[in-house]
Amino acid sequence: MFYTLYNNGWRDVNSLRSWAFQYLPSKVTEVDGKNFSANILRDSKPWLIDFYAPWCGHCHQFSPIFEGVARRLDGKVNLGKINCDNHRQICERVSIHAYPTIKYYKGSNDSKRQEFLGDEIGNLDEDFIVNYINDQLQQQQQQQQQQQQASNVHHTTEL
């Protein structure tokens, strides 16, 4: 008899779900040191990053949840994940002390590099993460509108 061992033999629903998601197309980008600094920190579009370790059981259980977040936020933000065993320097620089850790990067202005630390999301619930990101996007949109209105007022007073 032949069978495939999944998630170190764990037999709970989350482990099976995590194992199955490995074989489906992913909306989450695997990030390395070069594209973290060049693409994420300088990108004008927001990113949500999962900092994980391959040996971490909680990370395996969170992986399908993060895929669900990616599907729900598709087109609004980019999602990526960083293997902290392979990219230890990045994880140390952004102050990762536990796995998994989720951080939100709002997007840079005028291609200026944004802060390495990002905003840490302390709750790993899918609905909480999606609501948090939607709230952040709404706040950013309101700030941009206010700045644009202030700029328009400044231009009209010059005439």
Return the closest-CA partner of residue 98 out of 121, 116, 79. 121
Residue 56 annotated to the active site:
yes
Q: At what angle do helices 13-21 and 57-72 cross, to 10 degrees?
A: 60
Select which of 49, 59, 90, 96 is catalytic: 59
Which residues have CB under 8 Å from 40's CB, separation 6+?
Answer: 31, 47, 49, 78, 80, 105
Select which of 56, 124, 130, 137 is catalytic: 56
Kindly list the catalytic residues.
56, 59
